[in-house]
Amino acid sequence: MSDTAFASELRTKIINDPDVILEDHDLMRALISANERAMGANIVDLRGVAMERLERRLDRLEDTHRSVIAAAYENLAGTNQIHRAVLRMLDPTEFESFLKNLGTEVADILRVDSVKLVLETTQDGEDAALRRLGDVLCVAEPGFVHEYMRAGKSGQVRPVVLRQTMPQSETIYGEASTWVRSEALMRLDLGEGRLPGMLVMGAEDPHQFKPSQGTDLLAFFAGVFERAMRRWLA
């Protein structure tokens, strides 16, 4: 095919379907650059300047759009994960199996390396009885939950705290404190007349739990958990 015939065919295709060019950013840039060169250096094409600005704005909007969609998918995946963990957590019919399940299958669903339940107690006999219930349970003195969650900071302590682990984490994790690097702490209201508790999720990844992350899903999980605990402790 000769160059003249090819140019004529290309011209016909463009006239019949101009969107082929208009939707191609690289081709549009090339055409605009050619037009500017043809006009000379003393002429400023304001339409070209406006188009460049609109193009940059469109790129930013597309990036934002992708970020919003990615966040939506991540939130949906997180919600489904929490729902599955809640359903699995409610399966056991005995307290010992409830605790064991918490540290195994529920932890696997939540993709965390450690799950601990911290209960405060003032009675030595009750302390010994609770310790026999398994590795998931951690017994502490009154006031431990508040002090551990606030980590020496003043002011009100949030119900859910996400952070890297503290030096005194050995009280909770034991030997695992050497490799648990980030944690999610959820304060538990176990009912009137009872000392508070704390549900702790630990991860080897130091960035799995960060203060900048949202806590709504973990607050929901903690709410379900403390209601289940109230029934076990009743």
At residue 167's C-alpha, the angle toward residues 162 and 168, to 5°, is 90
Token pair for 230: 């109230």
The pLDDT of residue 49: 64
Domain boundary among 27, 45, 62: 62
Confidence band, pLDDT 50/70/90 cuts, at residue 58: confident
Share above pLDDT 90 across residues of the chain, in percent, rounded to a whole number: 35
Domain boundary among 62, 92, 107: 62
The pLDDT of residue 163: 94
Confidence band, pLDDT 50/70/90 cuts, at residue 53: confident
The verdict on pTM exceeding 0.85 is: no
The pLDDT of residue 26: 73
Q: Which of 14-18, 23-27, 42-46, 117-121 has the lowest mean pLDDT?
A: 42-46
Indicate whether 35 and 114 sit together in one domain: no
Say which CATH number the domain at 207 has: 3.30.450.40
Indicate whether 41 and 112 sit together in one domain: no
Indicate whether 95 and 46 sit together in one domain: no
Share above pLDDT 70 across residues of the chain, in percent, rounded to a whole number: 82
Containing structural domain, residue 31: 3-62
181 pLDDT higher than 80: yes
In order of 4, 147, 185, 192, 196, the CA distances from 142 in angstroms are 91, 10, 17, 15, 8
Indicate whether 17 and 102 sit together in one domain: no
Distance CA 49, CA 56 (A): 11
Distance CA 119, CA 125 (A): 14
Convert 116-147 to b/e letters by CB count within 10 Å (16 or more is b): bbbbbbeeeeeeeebeebbebbbbbeeebbee
